[in-house]
Structure 1
Amino acid sequence: MTTVQTVETTRARSAGRGAPDRDRRRRVGNQTPPLTALGFLAPFLILYILFIIGPALYGLLMSFFNTSLVKPGLGTFAGLDNYAEAFGSREFWQSMWHTIYFALLTTPPLVILGLVFAWLAERATRGKAFFRVAFFTPYVLPSAVMALIWVWLYAPIIGLLTKFVTLIGLTAPGWLSDPHWAMPSLALATVWWTLGFNFVLYLAGLGEISRELYEAASIDGASPLQQLRLITLPLLARTTTLVAVLQFIASLKVFDQMFIMTQGGPNYATRSVLQYIYDSGFTDMRTGYAAAASTLFFIVVLIASAVWLVITRRQNEES
């Protein structure tokens, strides 16, 4: 009997000593070798370097030269002359202000309406799938299709908005031909077009909030608006920060709808900084100067991203 116990004890100790070794070998065996992982990443890395990193570095290099589309090579070295010219250019800063103005017109309504419609769709007892599809469908439209729809809506005589304003006894403005109305008109079209993206982000954020919190608040007698103010908005603070910054950066990069609907007019009232860069590089053929203006614009977008990182870090520290 003693011998049997001794053998069993020895086997148990051996098994105990072997278990960590087997676990360690299993973990090592499950790890993907570095060369294998690099092989899977290689196609993406090659394309990313060729079409993103490479052109960006070459554009930065061009910004220090008088590069032109009509002359081969980089051209003559210009140093910081292109940057100095961009800093002193009234047209550059005017287009930068148009871009910021457009971002200020579109970001608040896109954030607020995205939250409101997502909250209403989440609380709907019927037709949730319909509301989600209805709000997100405009976002999948190509920019040219969206622009064509709103050009028809803004048409001076036959446009639907023009007829509606006339029907209620008002004089329809020149939606896209009046310098004072052109930018708000573009902002309205953009809000309709891109609202679905923020709507989906807020739906995802609302889905992460526990239903038990709302049930407890209802038992305590809280109204839906009180639940929105005391539960939904505080718990969606990070989502709101993300949506606001992403939307502001996206609005800064506006180009398609302005270029298609107004071509930067009237009287350059809607020319964004990206269209200014496009005109400098492909109309005036000054690609070196356009690269310098692009670098300055990149710095502005980088500052906006840095602000988001600072706000997010503070939110993480507070939580």
Structure 2
Amino acid sequence: MAAPHRQSRLSNALFAAPYLVVFIALLVVPLIWGIYLSLQKADLFGLYGFTGWTNYARVLNDALFWQSVRNTLLFVVVTVPILVGIGLFLGLALNARTGGAAFMRGVYFSSTVLSVTIVTLIWRFVFIPGDGLLSLAFQAMGWQPIGFLSTEGWSLFSVGVATVWWCIGLPMILILAALQQIPGDLYEAAALDNASRWRTFTRVTLPQIRGTLILVATIQIVMQFQLFGQAQLMTNGGPNGTSRPMVLYIYRAAFENWDVGQGAAASELLFLIILVAAMGQYWVTSRGPRT
């Protein structure tokens, strides 16, 4: 009996091997290499010696780094609830087996397949001063146009609007899939009890899709902490760094200032922030009664 058992374990290991190889090669090795680089004096041409925690001290003492941290945290705190909320609303609205609902799902999901370059180009046409759609609309109503991409307080808002439009498809599809897995018997029982729509939603629908909502929120936290392309292409981090996220700070440190050690140190700090935020969000939202 021992031989078949060992053969079964070997088959399972071989089945999982391709994923493990990719996981180690693309995630574990870069993480370890990044930690190693963060402890070195390094540029794009090579390593010049071990420096210990010097790179981390430089990053933590850099006012621009803390500004990027504040920008990123504000961006995540605002966009993630909006993405989850709109995704839930669209999932509920389009949870119907009709041709119109299927068409609208495709419409809302279509933005997700676009590249960041196309997305930012579209929204630059909306926000750009002078000839942008919003500027023309403001002028038509007799209002003073706002320089959304070049005004402090509005630049990060503009990046957030473009990001929500771009990313809304995935939360919608995940929540919609969860809604379609809810047994119909539960809604029939609620109808027999004369439960209102709101009571059915809060006592039947939400508990049944709780796990999916947690998953969507966790995915969006991880994704939005990695904000980069939209901010770089729409505002270039300006004005005065008010829309510069952490990843753009890392990019400039490593590839514009040629300080790979400092960039690696900042990236490891970003990894820790994402890990703490995602695990904290999961711990908070997963507590509660299970149904």
Question: What is the TM-score normalised by the length of structure 2?
Answer: 0.90
| CA deviation profile, 1:97-130 (whole Å, cap 9, x unmatched) | 1111111221111111110111011157551211
Residue pair 1:110, 1:195 contacting (<8 A) in 2 also: yes
Question: Which one of 273, 276, 279 corresponds to residue 300 of structure 1?
Answer: 273
Q: What amino acid does structure 2 have at the position aligned with 1:85?
A: R
Give the distance between the partners of 1:31 and 1:171, measured in 2 at CA: 74
Query: Quick one: which of 228, 231, 237 aligns to 1:255?
Result: 228
1:86–1:292 Cα contact (<8 Å) kept: yes
Shift of 1:202: 0.6
Q: Give the ranges of 4+ consecutive aligned residues of structure 1 lying more than 6 Å apart after TM superposition.
A: none
Name the % identity: 34
Answering whether residue 172 of structure 2 is matched by residue 196 of structure 1, we say: no
Counterpart code for 2:27: I
Cα distance change of structure 1 residues 171 and 218 upon mapping to structure 2, 3 Å threshold: farther
Residue aligning to 1:59: 34
Deviations 1:136-192 (A, max 9, x none): 111111111111100111122222222223333322211111111111111111111
1:28 matches 2:4: yes
The aligned residue for residue 101 of structure 2 is 128
**How many angstroms apart in 2 are the aligned matches of 1:231 and 1:38?**
40
Residue of structure 1 in register with 2:261 after alignment: 288
Q: Which moved more, 1:53-62 or 1:267-276?
A: 53-62
Matched ranges for 1:178-193 at <5 A: 178-193=151-166
Answer yes or no: is 1:165 the counterpart of 2:138. Answer: yes
Displacement of 1:307 in angstroms is: 1.6
Cross-structure match for 2:287: 314
CA contact (8 A) 2:214 2:286 kept: no
Residues 10-89 of structure 1: pairs in structure 2 closer than 5 A: 28=4, 32=8, 34=10, 38=13, 41-70=16-45, 72=46, 74-89=47-62
TM-score, L = length of structure 1:
0.83
Structure 2 residue ranges without an equivalent (≥5):
none
CA contact (8 A) 2:218 2:278 kept: yes
- 1:196-275 to 2 correspondence within 5 Å? 196-275=169-248
Tell me: CA distance 1:107–1:51, structure 2 relative to 1, closer, same or farther (3 Å). closer
The residue identity in structure 2 corresponding to 1:161 is L
CA distance in 2 between counterparts of 1:165 and 1:234 reads 44
Q: Distance in 2 between matches of 1:233 and 1:134?
A: 25
How far does the alpha carbon of each residue in 1:72-115 deviate from its partner, in whole angstroms, 9 at most, with x for none?
3x212211111111111111111011111111221111111110
Alignment of 1:140-179 (within 5 A): 140-179=113-152
**Partners of 1:97 and 1:228 in 2: how far apart?**
36
| Distance across 1 between alignment mates of 2:290 and 2:202 | 19
- Does the alignment pair 1:139 with 2:112? yes
Aligned to 1:18: none
Counterparts of 1:249 and 1:203, CA distance in 2: 21
Distance apart, 1:299 and its partner CA:
0.7
Q: Distance in 2 between matches of 1:38 and 1:84?
A: 43
Q: How many residues align?
A: 291
Aligned match of 1:97: 70
Query: What letter corresponds to residue 51 of structure 2 in structure 1?
Result: A
CA displacement at 1:37 relative to structure 2: 5.2
CA spacing shift, 1:125–1:218, aligned 2, 3 Å = farther
Deviations 1:186-211 (A, max 9, x none): 11111111111000111011012122
TM-superposed deviation, 1:47: 4.3
Query: Which sections of structure 1, spanning at least 5 residues, go unmatched?
Result: 1-23
More displaced 10-residue stretch of structure 1: 80-89 or 222-231:
222-231
1:210 partner letter: P
| Alpha-carbon shift at residue 30 of structure 1 (Å) | 11
**Any idea what SS the aligned residue of 2:230 has?**
helix
The whole-number CA distance in structure 2 between the counterparts of 1:313 and 1:103 is 19
Query: Which structure would you say has the larger Rg?
Result: 1
